[in-house]
Amino acid sequence: QTVVTQEPSLTVSPGGTVTLTCASSTGAVTSGYSPNWFQQKPGQAPRALIYSSSNKHSWTPARFSGSLLGGKAALTLSGVQPEDEADYYCLLYYTGAWVFGGGTKLTVL
């Protein structure tokens, strides 16, 4: 059973920078895993932020960026805003199946 691991929770101050990571139980995450990142706020469906590791959608704020970092997929928020408080999920592709990470609860405090 493939497991995708994220930090359960992180706290960041407004205006600060934070990096969320996404690790695979199978080894290093590469572009072949097609990492996607989603943001979810209470009562809403997940919203896509990043695809193919680092590509932004037209609606993705510039302060969000995706990368591959140290064998993991990473989502960096620079200049965090209060409205960025949310749950964040990564999604990885494994030959025929997609697997979500367990999610990171980001608190802006």
Site membership for other proteins, residue 109 (CB under 8 A): no
**Inter-residue contact 29 to 20 (CB < 8 Å):** no
Burial (CB count <10 Å: 0-12, 13-18, 19+), residue 58: exposed
Site membership for other proteins, residue 66 (CB under 8 A): no
Site membership for other proteins, residue 99 (CB under 8 A): yes
Taking the complex as a whole, the smallest distance from the CB of residue 74 to other proteins amounts, in Å, to 17
Longest dimension (CA), the chain: 40
CA atoms in the 13 A half-sphere facing the CB of 76: 11
Taking the complex as a whole, the smallest distance from the CB of residue 66 to other proteins amounts, in Å, to 12
- DSSP 8-state secondary structure symbol assigned to residue 57: P
Q: Which of 9, 25, 55, 78 binds other proteins (CB under 8 A)?
A: 55
Binding region for other proteins (CB under 8 A): 1-2, 34, 36, 38, 40, 45-48, 51-52, 55, 57, 59, 87, 89, 91, 93, 96-103
